[in-house]
Amino acid sequence: MKAPKHIAGYLFATLTAAALSFASHTAEAQGIKKTAEKVGNKTASIAVKGTSAVTDKIYKGKEGPNGETVYIDKKDRKFIVDDKGKKVYLKKSQIHNKKKD
């Protein structure tokens, strides 16, 4: 069962708004900027992974170099999503079978 495509858009908008609200407050305490960046990166990563799960195919039975989920876009390119929410395209040699537990 696939979720409707508009759910990913709503999820992305909600998470982006939350990240912007955290980043917009001026902070006097040390470390708030670093925390806001971590929240923003995590929000972006979750949003891209959610969007990719809806719009792209998941490469079943395969994983990335460090056990990440591998996605296939409409141009048949394989990629993973890093910690900052960026798509990292993979070479064929970087994809391997999932390890059985």
Per-residue pLDDT tens over the stretch 2-29: 556 667 667 677 767 676 666 555 545 5
pLDDT over 70, % of the chain: 73
In terms of Cβ atoms closer than 10 Å to its own Cβ (0-12, 13-18, 19+), residue 79 is: buried
Distances (CA, A) of 83 to 13, 42, 45: 19, 7, 6
Residue 63 has pLDDT above 80, yes or no: yes
Average pLDDT along the chain: 81
Which has the minimum average pLDDT: 8-12, 56-60, 81-85? 8-12
**Residue 93: burial class (beta carbons within 10 Å; 0-12, 13-18, 19+):** exposed
What single DSSP character describes residue 82? -
pLDDT for the residue numbered 53: 84
Q: Tokens 């040699």 — which residue? A: 93
